[in-house]
Amino acid sequence: METPRPAVTPISLECVPVREIPIGEGSGSATLVLGEVMHIYVADSLIDNRFRIDPRMLRPIGRLAGSAYCFVRDVFELARPGYHGER
């Protein structure tokens, strides 16, 4: 049975809560909720021929600070060193 989700959502994660951690006190306090991902849905149109999510097809939006967001339009690759400095 598929978990209900908005039809226009190209990616969704079905999670169950694992732990709640209170952070801070007073008006600036918050609760960090940790969860375990049980199921992942990704629209077929986002998957490339290597079975990875194609960020150009996803057209993600990034959160900056406060209520500011940005469109992610420029995508580039940068080689990363492997573990222990290996490539």
pLDDT at 81 over 60: yes
Question: What would the two tokens of residue 64 be?
Answer: 């900056």
pLDDT of the residue at 71? 92
Q: Taking the domains of the chain in order of start, what are their residue ranges?
A: 11-85
d(CA 55, CA 60): 7
pTM score of the predicted model: 0.63
Nearest of 46, 55, 45 to residue 75 by alpha carbon: 55
32-44: pLDDT as tens digits? 999 999 999 999 9
d(CA 72, CA 69): 10
